[in-house]
A and B are shown apart, each in its own frame.
Chain A
Amino acid sequence: MEIINEIKFTMPSLSVNEASARAVVSSFLIQADPTVEELSDIRTAVSEAVTNAVVHGYRNTKGNVELTVKLLANREIYIRIKDRGCGISDVKQAMEPLFTTAPEEERSGLGFSVMESFMDILKVKSSVGKGTTVVMRKRLSPHEN
């Protein structure tokens, strides 16, 4: 798929960067003129993935979270969020609604469900000790003009 534009943003795993990631995605997407709802969906999905990297991936450590956003032909948005944290041993189980390994921290186990329902495609690759990569895609509605 032809790439029209692309950015990469690397940030340390500080919780304050959950908002930074949302801001970066929002400003990059201005050029595609998404609807308010589309923008809100994408911002929320990005927030979930970055929060997971900070909260779970780098639980007892620190590291970088990499965010890649691409605008593809056909108004498709590609997003990749990558950490080199602890990884997930059972991805299928992790993606089940309400599954969480941190209930005492008031995590509700819905992050992946939000990503799945707000984006068109969600793919999670993870390996224990190496890290986790989340790829999401969403096609924006046709532009009116």
Chain B
Amino acid sequence: MKMEIKSGSEAATALLSGEIDHHNAKELRSQLDKFIISVQPALLVMDFKNITFMDSSGIGLIMGRSKLIKECGGSLEVKNTQPYIRRVLRLSGIERIVKIT
């Protein structure tokens, strides 16, 4: 599990790689939260291009970051989700809260 965060002028992008499960979510959560709290980006985009697996732990991860970033006055988007990941996301109704493409 790897993550690379880039801060742009309009949006910050977190490029995640590997598998999102309960084991890996902890580390991702703390890295993302550290970034959100210190940088307070207006928009954070989680790029799922290199994510090869995600279960319901990913839903908790996205929901939790969405909540935190809203409290900091920003918003969250998730992009490049592959079809099988979108099937997990659809079950949660998270698409009504976070823009997912």
**A interface with B by C-beta (< 8 Å):** 15-16, 18-19, 22, 37, 40-41, 43-44, 47-48, 51, 54-55, 97, 105-108, 110-111, 113-114, 117-118
Whether A51 contacts B84 by the Cβ 8 Å rule is no
For B92, list chain A residues within 8 Å (CB): 108, 110
When the two chains form their complex, are residues B21 and A107 in contact, meaning their CB atoms are under 8 A apart?
no
Contact flags (1/0) for B46-61 with A, using CB distance below 8 Å?
0000000111110111
Chain B residue at smallest Cβ distance from A55: B22
What residues on B are CB-neighbors of A41 within 8 Å? 84
Closest to B64 in A: A106
Given A114-B88, A117-B91, decide whether A19 and B59 contact each other with a Cβ distance below 8 A.
no
Residue from B22, B56, B84, B88 within 8 A of A37 (CB atoms): B84
A105 vs B64: C-alpha distance when bound (angstroms): 10
Nearest A residue to B19, CB-CB: A19
Q: Tell me if B23 and A15 are in contact (CB < 8 A).
A: yes
Contact partner, A106, options B21, B25, B54, B55, Cβ 8 Å: B25
A106 and B84 alpha carbons, distance in the complex (Å): 21
B62-94 interface mask toward A, CB cutoff 8 Å, 1 = contact, 0 = none?
A: 011000000000000000000010011001100
Given contacts A15-B23, A48-B56, A108-B59, 6 further A-B pairs with CB under 8 A are: A37-B84, A41-B84, A51-B21, A51-B57, A106-B64, A113-B91
* A106–B91 touching, CB < 8 Å: no
The distance from the CB of A106 to the nearest CB of chain B, in whole angstroms, is 3
Say yes or no: B22 contacts A18, CB within 8 Å.
yes
Q: Chain A residues near B55 (CB, 8 Å)?
A: 44, 47-48, 51, 111, 114
Q: Is A114 touching B25 in the complex (CB atoms < 8 A)?
A: no
* CB-based contact A110/B19 at 8 Å: no
- Using CB atoms, name the residue of chain A closest to B22: A51
A108 and B63 in contact, given A43-B53, A51-B57, A114-B56 (Cβ under 8 angstroms): yes
Cα distance, A110 to B23, chains bound together (Å)? 17
Is the pair B60, A19 in contact by a Cβ cutoff of 8 Å? Answer: no
CB-CB under 8 A from A97, the residues of chain B are 91
